Amino acid sequence: MTQHGRVRGEQHQGVARFLGVPFAASPTGPRRFAAPTPPAPWDGVRPATAFGATPPCPGYRPPVDEILYQPTVPGDDWLTVNVWTPDPGGSGLPVMVWVHGGAFVNGNAAIPMYDGHAFARDGVVLVTFNYRLGVDGFAWFPDAPSNRGLLDQIAALEWVQANIAAFGGDPGRVTVFGESAGAMSITSLLASPRARGLFARAITQSGAAQAAAAPADAALVTAELGRTLGREANASSLADVPVTELVAAQRTVSDALTASFDPERFGPSVVASSMAFIPVVDGDVLPEHPLRALAAGASADVALLTGTTTEEYRFFLVPTGLAAATTEPVLAAFLTSRGVPASVLEVYRAGRPDATPGDLLAALLTDRFFRLPALDVVSARSASRTWVYEMAWRTPHRDLGAAHAVDIPFVFDALDATGADGLVGRGAPQRLADAMHRVWVDFAVTGRPAWRPYDPDRTVMVFDGDGSRTVSAPRDDERAAWA
């Protein structure tokens, strides 16, 4: 029994799963750019044996669409949760809530790698959910609530607080975890008063405070969207634009950003994120920049496990051919255009004598966009309980190496899930999945990993094919070079 009505799931290999349960009303029609509202209660028993509709998105372009498998479920009722539980008649079980990634414009909870069976098998109630993406979720409008995607996430976490006991979970033992845009969302939630008390622990994988737009910069993106559609740049004018047309215009704006990275056209905070539609520092959901909020003590009582893969940016440079096309002059020109001193490049070059220019570019961008922002969050939290990991296993598949998102099927112990081989190939080490998945489960249970917090020794747990090990201050010369 949920607060809105009864649901019936199904048993699968000793785990009970309930799919497609509404946590908010369909965000369509007059609710399109509104804050989420509760779903209408239902009579009788609602079947919960299939995923709900997935939110509109542009999809991934080749070759990324061959790497990240993303199913689509038609329909308008996107705001649903999915629950896997080892014992729906039990009580007091730890709860984990997954926030999917996808650069705030792609992704959904029906992706097979996000199946919660392994977590439930190991004693955790696992929850996944959808939230509004792109323009619907994150475009800033003067006449609509901002951060609608974050408000959807908060509504899902509120649903968990109100209902998870009915599935055997303890609402006081909720760990929220996510990757990429999901991790960036969680960093925003850590800074948001609206999310206070909705979770006790957090895990951020390959995402920190990179995505936080100043309102003026977000308004520039909205203006660009209005010009693309030939309409006024506000919610009232865009509310009746067909979904397919709006998603196409959204992609046009995103493409223009990545083609120019022009701060006068899109605003410095948006350009720094490399994404057009991101959370906005609106003075309400996000009263201030997440780093400032964390430094002031926001969520200091929430235990945090954070980390990255070792070679995040290979995901963006290798499959597209950009790494192979990077020559020494191209590398130098790119770094100069981004304000990266030559001295920083030389530190990386010294530590990687056999690296190609493309390898060096991937290493530099990995640290600038992923590793350093994660460590900025650690520094902002100062004495708060914070642990750091690094995923170092290198898949030979497509020469991705330890690229962005490679950690996901290991964390979910889902190496055999449909689509996982597109990311990590075949024959990925199950031993590593056992190790990473166990750390995530143990963190949900105890809130304390088996290694030391990051400060003062900069201790990092490194996961590799041969197992896991702690390393003190890995590649610290490269980290320090950016100072």
Q: Model confidence over 7-18: pLDDT tens digits?
A: 999 999 999 999
Q: Choosing from 311, 312, 390, 478, which is the catalytic residue?
A: 312
- Two structure tokens written together for 407: 């950690």
Same domain, residue pair 442 and 413: yes
**Residue from 4, 100, 397, 404 carrying the catalytic annotation:** 404
Active site residue 158: no
Token code pair at residue 89:
């008649």
Residues 207 and 326 in one domain: no
CB 423, CB 396: distance < 8 Å: no
Q: Is 428 a member of any domain?
A: yes
| 100 belongs to the catalytic site | no
- Give the total number of structural domains in the chain: 3
First CA to last CA across the chain, in angstroms? 54
Is 203 in the same domain as 161? yes
Pairing of strands 201-205, 303-309: parallel
> Is residue 338 very low, low, confident or very high in pLDDT (cuts 50, 70, 90)?
confident
Query: Do 219 and 256 belong together in one domain?
Result: yes
Question: Is 312 a known active-site residue?
Answer: yes
25 contacts: CB under 8 Å, gap ≥ 6: 31, 36, 37, 38, 39, 40, 79
Q: How distant is the alpha carbon of residue 157 from its chain centre?
A: 15
Instruction: Report residue 28 as tokens.
Output: 């369509």
Of the pLDDT bands very low, low, confident and very high (cuts 50, 70, 90), residue 45 is very high
Q: Let me know whether 335 and 443 are in one domain.
A: yes
Count H helices and E strands in the chain, helices first: 21, 13
Domain termination residue (choose one: 228, 251, 273): 273
Strand order from edge to edge, sheet including 467-472: 10-12, 15-22, 80-85, 125-129, 93-99, 169-179, 201-205, 303-309, 386-391, 459-464, 467-472
Nearest to 82 by CA among 143, 141, 156, 142: 156
pLDDT tier, 467 (very low <50, low <70, confident <90, very high otherwise) = confident
Question: Does the CA dihedral 138-142-144-150 come out positive or negative?
Answer: positive
Catalytic one of 4, 117, 158, 180: 180
User: What is d(CA 87, CA 288) in angstroms, rounded to the nearest whole number?
Assistant: 41
Q: What is the CATH number of the domain that holds 45?
A: 3.40.50.1820
Shared domain for 20 and 169, answered yes or no, is yes
Same domain, 321 and 370: yes
Is 166 in contact with 1 (CB distance < 8 Å)? yes
Q: What is the band of 458 on the pLDDT scale with cuts at 50, 70, 90? A: very high
Looking at the predicted structure, is the pLDDT value of residue 176 above 80? Answer: yes
Q: Are residues 198 and 90 in the same domain?
A: yes
pLDDT at 382: 85
Mean pLDDT to the nearest integer, 226-252: 96
Q: How far, in Å, CA of 387 to CA of 389, rounded?
A: 7
134-146, pLDDT tens digit by residue?
Answer: 999 999 999 999 9
187 shares a domain with 91: yes
Q: Identify the domain boundary among 288, 305, 322.
A: 305
Mean pLDDT of 419-448: 96
Q: Is residue 86 part of a domain?
A: yes
List the domain range (segments joined by +) for residue 174: 6-55+75-211+278-305
Single out the residue of 429, 430, 272, 287 nearest to residue 339, CA to CA: 272
Q: If DSSP codes are grouped into helix, strand and coil, which group holds residue 174?
A: strand
Same domain, yes or no: 297 and 427: no
Residue 121, amino acid: R
Q: Are residues 162 and 258 in the same domain?
A: no
Distance, in Å, from the CA atom of 390 to the CA atom of 373, rounded to the nearest integer, reads 14
